[in-house]
Amino acid sequence: MSATPIGPYTPVLKAGDWLIVSGQIGIDGDAKLVAGGMAAELRQLLANLSAHLQGAGASMDKVAKTTVFMTDMDDYPTMNEIYVAAFGDHRPARSAVAVAGLPLGASIEVEAWAHIG
């Protein structure tokens, strides 16, 4: 089950042959940030991302592009390890950028585009 959105946006939107998944942070089903820092948040947000894709009839292997927003680039090696575990041999195009802050004080956010055509 994917987490409830924390704002007035659409979590996943179909646009032609694409599913666009809004930025996900590591929130649980009660829209609360999970405890445990960046690694725990990333695992939860990837589970949320997967649930949104599955709810729209897709899966992680359909993701063509992600953007990773991080508040601390020192977390990059840990992020890479967890990210690779989630996507397996599938390697979407990816950008990773440092940001000053994220909703609810999250340390990481990921948005994704999945091609379903």
| Angle 52-115-93 from CA coordinates, rounded to 5° | 95
Query: Averaged over 103-113, what is the pLDDT?
Result: 97
CATH of the domain at 96: 3.30.1330.40
Find, among 31, 61, 58, 62, the residue nearest to 44 by Cα: 31
- Note whether residue 6 is domain-resident: no
The overall pTM is greater than 0.75: yes
Q: What is the pLDDT of residues 89-103, one digit of tens each?
A: 999 999 999 999 999
Find, among 117, 83, 103, 108, the residue nearest to 5 by Cα: 103
DSSP-derived pairing of the beta strands 63-70 and 93-98: parallel
- Note whether residue 4 is domain-resident: no
- Note whether residue 110 is domain-resident: yes
Find, among 105, 107, 83, 103, the residue nearest to 95 by Cα: 83
- pLDDT beyond 90 at 30: no
Q: Are 67 and 95 in contact (CB under 8 A)?
A: yes
Q: What is the pLDDT of residues 33-69, one digit of tens each?
A: 999 999 999 999 999 999 999 999 999 999 999 999 9
Rounded to whole angstroms, how far apart are CA atoms 112 and 64? 8
In the block, tokens 């601390």 appear at 72
If one counts the domains in the chain, the total is: 1
